[in-house]
Amino acid sequence: MTTRTIDYAADGLTMTGHLALPAGAGRRPAVLVGPEGVGLSDVERRRADALAELGYVAFAFDLHGGRCLPDPQEMLARCMPLLADPGRMRNIGRAALDVLRAEPRTDPERIAAIGYGTGGAIALELGRDGVDLRAIATVNGLTTGRPGEAARIRCPVWAGVGSQDPIMPPAQREAFTAEMQEAGVDWRLVVYGGALHAFHHPPVTHRVLPGVGHHPQHARRAWRDVVDLLAECVPVT
Amino acid sequence: MTTRTIDYAADGLTMTGHLALPAGAGRRPAVLVGPEGVGLSDVERRRADALAELGYVAFAFDLHGGRCLPDPQEMLARCMPLLADPGRMRNIGRAALDVLRAEPRTDPERIAAIGYGTGGAIALELGRDGVDLRAIATVNGLTTGRPGEAARIRCPVWAGVGSQDPIMPPAQREAFTAEMQEAGVDWRLVVYGGALHAFHHPPVTHRVLPGVGHHPQHARRAWRDVVDLLAECVPVT
């Protein structure tokens, strides 16, 4: 497994992503990895590395021009307008997808997108934009889209959320699953009992918002669930 | 892998269960397999066999004294009173557990219970009765118990349900997950998008109730999820 840092342009910024390549040669299925709103950190870089160990080309993409936003107010000030603007989310996602597609090891016919929070919302928007993905996984980011656009999603969608997540409450989960169901999408939702927002994310040193907390056991399960989805939809042969 | 039919007494009937033993010798983790309300059929027998192939001692238990109840009216006439009577469910579950524990290959410290519909409700009731289980999985059977008793459940609970299941509708799912959450149980719920009641069950030749239907893709996923739970909680070493 080898890794490489890649700079690219998106959303008016210079983004800095993390590409992880599996051992061996030849094309492999590929995975976009979208970070939480706080931004790309070693958490997502390690996930990309873990996927490369499993045989995938993985690209953990950047949200904020090479920065993390440890201050909740700064994070929300940037992410809330972004989450309200499908065009900007798609721009960020498509720029990352272009990087992944430009990698010679990537099999362009077998690309999946996984993401967490804002990164998950971007993965969903790529599907609503009609991008040819083989699977979408979103943890915490159960965001709804513009009317009618979910019907463009042509791959399985897997979603995970903490039962006690106040930022993604039951009404939002129901709006999301209703959108998927009405659009005829092949979807699943896993509710992790007792988990808060960002339950998958190891503790960080900066301040966190109320309702956010790590749940190591459910974090391991959610990762297992995502890996199972990839094994189903983009198996490494 | 070898199998054996075992007769035993429960609920005033002579039950006929299906025991599947893994190859090799020595004790192994063990799994109770509870059938849908229609009763023990080759569907559950094959699941027990598949678990034995994975290295588990598995016992698919009987609900109706060696009979299947292909007529929906007859099935409901027997199952509805049963589902309303925790004592009878526990009797049926404990009798099956005694058979499993009597098998020398069973490691009595590592027993899990999985079930479908009525069989899932029985698996949950064993937990509420304080039985020392290592994991409980229930598909379709998201039944609530008597107040306070869920606190006796000391193992992870995994539940699966079809989003369009009219027999296990959202209000019932919420009552079930609220019971688990209030009791401090380590729980998860998977909602399989578009799936009906008994989505995991291959088509049967008899008449089925409205709202019942097979969903092969989600059926495979639910099996994968159950196997993952067993791998987490009662790994074959």
Question: Is A188's CB within 8 Å of B221's CB?
Answer: yes
| A73 touches B: beta carbon within 8 Å | no
Nearest residue to A203 (alpha-carbon basis) of A191, A219, A225: A219
| A189 touches B: beta carbon within 8 Å | yes
**Which residue segments constitute the domains of chain A, with CATH numbers given?**
2-233 (3.40.50.1820)
Q: What is the ipTM of this complex?
A: 0.96
pLDDT tens across B83-118, in order?
Answer: 999 999 999 999 999 999 999 999 999 999 999 999
Question: Is B188's CB within 8 Å of A221's CB?
Answer: yes
Question: Is A185's CB within 8 Å of B192's CB?
Answer: no
Half-sphere exposure of A220 (CA within 13 A, CB side): 7
B74 pLDDT higher than 70: yes
pLDDT tens across A137-173, in order?
Answer: 999 999 999 999 999 999 999 999 999 999 999 999 9
Kindly list the residues from chain B whose CB atom is less than 8 angstroms away from the CB atom of residue A228.
Answer: 221, 224-225, 228
Q: How far is the C-alpha of A112 from the C-alpha of A89, rounded, in Å?
A: 17
Q: B157, B174, B188, B218: best mutation site toward chain A, by most A Cβ within 10 Å?
A: B188
Residue B184's pLDDT band (cuts 50, 70, 90): very high
Structure-block tokens of residue A226: 């995502």
- A64/chain B closest Cα distance in angstroms: 33
Residue B151 one-letter amino acid? A
Give the bridge partners for A70, in sequence order.
none
For residue B176, give the chain A residue with the closest CA: A193
| A181 touches B: beta carbon within 8 Å | yes
Alpha helices in B111-195 (DSSP H): 118-128, 170-182
- B215/chain A closest Cα distance in angstroms: 11
Structure-block tokens of residue A227: 């890996």
Question: Is A194's CB within 8 Å of B177's CB?
Answer: no
Q: For the whole model, what pTM was predicted? A: 0.96
Contact (CB, 8 A) for B124 and B75? no
B65 pLDDT higher than 90: yes
B205 pLDDT higher than 60: no
Tally C-beta pairs within 8 A across A and B.
Answer: 68
Please give the DSSP secondary-structure letter assigned to residue B203.
P
B177, B191, B228: residue with CB nearest A188 = B191
Q: How far is the C-alpha of B161 from the C-alpha of B221, rounded, in Å?
A: 12
Which A residues, 118 through 157, put their C-beta within 8 Å of a C-beta on chain B?
157
Q: How far is the C-alpha of A16 from the C-alpha of A60, rounded, in Å?
A: 9
